Structures are given as structure tokens and as C-alpha cells.
Amino acid sequence: MSEYHGCELPEDLFYDLDYVWVRPEDDGTLTIGVTDPAQTMSGRLQKARIKKIGTHLDAGRHVATLESGKWAGGVPVPFAGEVIARNEALLEDPHLINVAPYSDAWIARIKPDDPQHALDNVKTGPDAIEALEAWIKRYGVQCMRCSD
């Protein structure tokens, strides 16, 4: 696990180099969430809406919208696909994203239309970590762990 300015950046995930991480699952689906620096910049999240199971999304469309007291925005999917699962716990407790952005606070699981090319627009490995560190530096983000 890389860490920069206190922000955790798991090296095994794929990133859109902005807000979103993507994790390939064994069954060919892809799990999506938001990164540690992104949740930090957003502030304490108070509202989360996630698209219903069965919704088809084109690449770039929002699978979820999140709101804090100082920020609101969408969570875009980097590939086209169908929502096959969503994290219902986040609808009740959006703040979970601030606490465990890479584990308990996954947002949705998507079945990609084109599995061969679903990861074409995301990056992983050292280049991705370097780009995310530049993102953290640009916005002056300092991550701190929330305990509740």
C-alpha cells in the first residue's frame, strides 16, 4: 500500500486518476469506489445516491452521486456496463466512504459490456500512483483517518 500526504493508494487497484478506483473481480465484474484523497477533499459525506441494479450506463456516466456540506459530485464509470450490485449500506450511512473508502465503502459492482477493453481508460501500477500523488499535491490534500 502506497501512502502520500497520509492518503492510502493501494497499488493493486486501477484508477481513473481523478476520483475513482476500479477493482477487477474473479467473476469478470468490476467494483467501483472513490479514492482516499477524493473522499478527503469531498469532506464528511452526508448523502449518497446509487443507480439501481439493472441500470445500464455508458462510459463516463455517473453510477452514484455524493454530497457533503461543502461538495457535491458524481462518480463516473470509466467503461460501459450494467449495475449488478450496489452497496446499500452507503445509502444509510454515506460517511462510511470517509472511513473505509477501499473496503466496506465500495459503491457498485458493474458487469462491463466489453470485458476485453473495460480497463482501457484506467491506469494501475507505479505510473498511476505517481499521477495520483501529483493530484494530491495539486489540490494540497492531506488525508487523515476517520474513526467513526
Which stretches of the chain bind another protein, using CB under 8 A?
Answer: 18, 49, 60-62, 65, 67, 70-74, 76, 138-140
Compute the Cα dihedral for 129, 34, 12, 51 and give only its sign.
negative
DSSP-derived letter for residue 117 is G
Closest distance to another protein from the beta carbon of 27 (Å): 28
Closest distance to another protein from the beta carbon of 65 (Å): 5
Pick between residue 56 and residue 117 the one whose CB is nearest to another protein.
Answer: 56
Pick between residue 73 and residue 115 the one whose CB is nearest to another protein.
Answer: 73
Q: What's the length of the chain?
A: 148
Residues 3 and 129: their CA atoms lie apart, in Å, by 9
Closest of 109, 126, 127 to residue 118, by C-alpha:
109
Closest distance to another protein from the beta carbon of 89 (Å): 19
Closest distance to another protein from the beta carbon of 101 (Å): 19
Pick between residue 44 and residue 104 the one whose CB is nearest to another protein.
Answer: 44
Pick between residue 70 and residue 148 the one whose CB is nearest to another protein.
Answer: 70
Give burial (CB, 10 Å; 0-12/13-18/19+) of 114: exposed
